Amino acid sequence: MLVVDDSVVIRRLVTNILDEDPDIQVVGTAPNGRIALSKIPQVAPDLVTLDIEMPVLDGLETLRELRALYPRLPVIMFSTLTERAASATLEALSLGANDYVTKPANVGSVQAGMESIRSQMVPKIKALCASLLPRPALPASRPVSTFMPVPADRARVPFATPEVLAIGASTGGPDALAEVISRLPADFPLPVVVVQHMPPVFTRLFAQRLDTKSALTVTEAQTGDVLRPGSVLIAPGDHHMVLRRTGDVVRVALNQDTPENWCRPAVDPLFRSVGEAYGGRALALVLTGMGQDGLRGCDRLRAAGAQVIVQDEATSVVWGMPGAVAGAGLAHRILPLREIPPAILSVVSTRSRQVVLR
């Protein structure tokens, strides 16, 4: 991989961290985008980490040129947790960056800073370059999954009309969410609740950007928000978002309970609370993302009678989260991204429906 950052300290830090992993090799570094673009044909990296703010050619301009020349080369942006950098990072994701890592702020030691970068960057590199890594040997006897596919004689089941759309996403999620939300009409009859794995500041700016692209009203959720048709609530960074019902009213509650699946916000707490508030009258959607967040929440929703749609592997940046749900037999439909909005509309526009598992 190629590490691009104007700080020699950061370049050395990232290089030292990545060189510790036997599956990752840093083949070059560059102090700005212009030098990075000249090095790519020389060192042929499988992935590039790209700083946002650099002299000569900054991260966004570098990304524009890089995408024109190397449309499939994975790129991870390296960003600070500032409003300016967060806005630039979201722009980079819209320009084709695959993911991002935040630089540690106010850490107590160099070691803590290294661990912060290591815990974020290494899993993302491996997820984006999974096809290049050696596959572990399968055990002689594989344990039986606790999430078993539905038997063939139960492939057709009736569903109640959903009253809420709950969405979970991670790596690649901002673009996928923009594709889905922007194609829902202004008279969409359901409230929409979303967990996108993002830190504070990022979620607020992401909600604002998504609001400009959608006929629906998109905001970052706050405790006490009432779920209303046509509203989209994004879980704020560093907070789990759950739903609480009182009579006919469902409200948002935020908390900073222990991270789940190494995430806060996490999809599983939201999906569990959707099941508690709505039972089977829910539609769950799991979009592109690394890891398995949402798997157990989908199991709860599926058991309650809710419908589950997941994004397919071909259109996912990383088929971790949707792949886990599909592999567990919990998805009623596995669809390319472009087919998900019409599938949602077909579900919510029908009083009851026979859904065929695929």
List residues with catalytic annotation: 170, 197, 293
Assign 321 to helix, strand or coil. Answer: helix
Amino acid at 208: Q
CB 36 within 8 A of CB 44: no
SS in 3 state form for 245-297?
A: EECCEEEEEEECCCCECCECCCHHHHHHHHHHHHCCCCEEEECCECCCCCHHH
Backbone dihedral angles phi then psi of residue 83, each to the nearest 5 degrees: -65, -40
User: Pairing mode, if any, of strands 307-311 and 333-335?
Assistant: parallel
CA atoms of 33 and 46, how far apart (whole Å) = 17
The burial class, CB within 10 Å (0-12 / 13-18 / 19+), for 250 is buried
Beta bridge partners of 260: 263
Amino acid at 10: I
Return the DSSP state at 143: P
CA atoms of 104 and 9, how far apart (whole Å) = 14
In order, the DSSP letters of 28-49 are EEESSHHHHHHHHHHH--S-EE
CA atoms of 355 and 358, how far apart (whole Å) = 9
